[in-house]
Amino acid sequence: MLSTQLKPLKKDLLTHFEELGDEHIGTSYDTPLRDDAFDLDDDVKIDQIAHHFKHIMDILGLDLTDDSLRGTPQRVAKMYVKEIFKGLNPANKPDMKLFDNKYQYNQMLVEKNITLYSNCEHHFVPIIGRAHVAYISNGKVIGLSKLNRIVQYYAQRPQVQERLTMQIANELKQALGTEDVAVVIDATHLCVSSRGIKDVQSSTVTAEYGGKFLDIDTRNEFLKHIG
C-alpha cells in the first residue's frame, strides 16, 4: 500500500529534477560542495570512481573483458579527478601574481576567444565555447596566460554558465583589486544539442560587467573588440 502511495511522489520528484536540468536552473553562486569534499586524496577518489563507473558500464550491458573497454573505468576516473573536474579543488587554483603597471597603460586590456571546455552539472555533458575577458588596470597588471588559467580553473568543474561567468569575473576583481572587469561567454551546451531538444544551431551568451564597464560607451568598446 505504501509503495503504491509513493509512486506518484517519486514521479513528481523525477519530473521536477528533469525540469531543473532542462530549464538550465542553478541554485547557488558557489559550486555546491560538501564540507568533506577533499578529505579523500586523488588516488582514493580515482579508485572509487573507477569501481562505480565499472558498475555503471556493467549495468549498461557492456562487456568489460573486451580489450577496448577493460581500462575505461580507470581512464574515466582519472579524467574526472585530474582533468575535467580538477577545478573543484582549491589546491589547483592558479597563482595570481601581479606586476606593477610601470608603463602606465590605462586603457582596457582584452583577452578574447579563450577556448572553454566545461561540463553541465545537470547531465555531465560538455559545454564548449569561448570566453572573452577584459579589465582596466588600477596600477597592477596580470600575466596574459593567467587570464586563460582563471577561465580554465572555474570551467573545470560541473557548471552552470551563468555561475561560471560570475565566478570568473569576481575572481578577476579580487585578484586585480578593481571592479573594472568584463566577462562574456558564448558556448554550446551538449545537453541541448545532443539530447532533449537536439538543437545544434543555438549557443548561449552570458555576460558580467563591473565598474567602468557598466558605462555604455566603455561596454560598447569592449563588445566591438570581441566582435
Are residues 76 and 113 located together in one domain of the fold?
no
132, 171, 189, 208: the catalytic one is 189
Q: What CATH number is attached to the domain comprising 44?
A: 1.10.286.10
163 and 204 inside one domain: yes
Instruction: Centre a 10 Å sphere on the Cβ of residue 55 and count the other Cβ atoms it contains.
Output: 11
The active-site residue out of 152, 156, 159, 161 is 161
132 annotated to a ligand binding site: no
81 and 117 co-located in one domain: no
What pLDDT score does 79 carry?
98
**Residue 24 annotated as lining a ligand binding site:** no
The pLDDT score that the predictor gives to residue 39 is 96
Q: Decide if pLDDT at 14 tops 70.
A: no
132 in catalytic set? no
Tens of pLDDT, residues 122-166 = 999 999 999 999 999 999 999 999 999 999 999 999 999 999 999
Given 72, 91, 110, the domain boundary residue is: 91
Is 16 part of any known ligand binding site? no
Which position among 120, 156, 159, 171 bears the catalytic label? 120
pLDDT of res. 16:
55
Judge if 14 and 68 occupy the same domain: yes
Q: What is the extent of the structural domain holding 201?
A: 96-226
The answer to pTM > 0.85 is yes
pLDDT tens-digit map of 55-114: 999 999 999 999 999 999 999 999 999 999 999 999 999 998 899 989 889 999 999 999
Integer Cα distance of 141 and 12 in angstroms: 52
Residue 115 belongs to a domain with what CATH number? Answer: 3.30.1130.10
pLDDT tens digits, residue range 37-54? 999 999 999 999 999 999
Q: Confirm whether 221 is a catalytic residue.
A: no
Asked if residue 187 and residue 107 are part of one domain, the reply reads yes
- pLDDT for residue 191: 82
How many structural domains comprise the chain? 2
- Render pLDDT for 168-225 as a digit per residue (tens, 0 to 9): 999 999 999 999 999 999 999 988 777 777 777 789 999 999 999 999 999 999 999 9
Q: Is 122 a catalytic residue?
A: yes
Q: Among the options 24, 74, 123, 221, which is catalytic? A: 123
- Whether 182 and 138 map to the same domain: the answer is yes
What confidence score (pLDDT) does residue 161 get?
96
- What is the pLDDT, as a whole number, of residue 165? 98
120 as an active site residue: the answer is yes
In the listed set 70, 91, 112, which residue is the last one of a domain according to the structure? 91
Residue 11: is its pLDDT beyond 80?
Answer: no
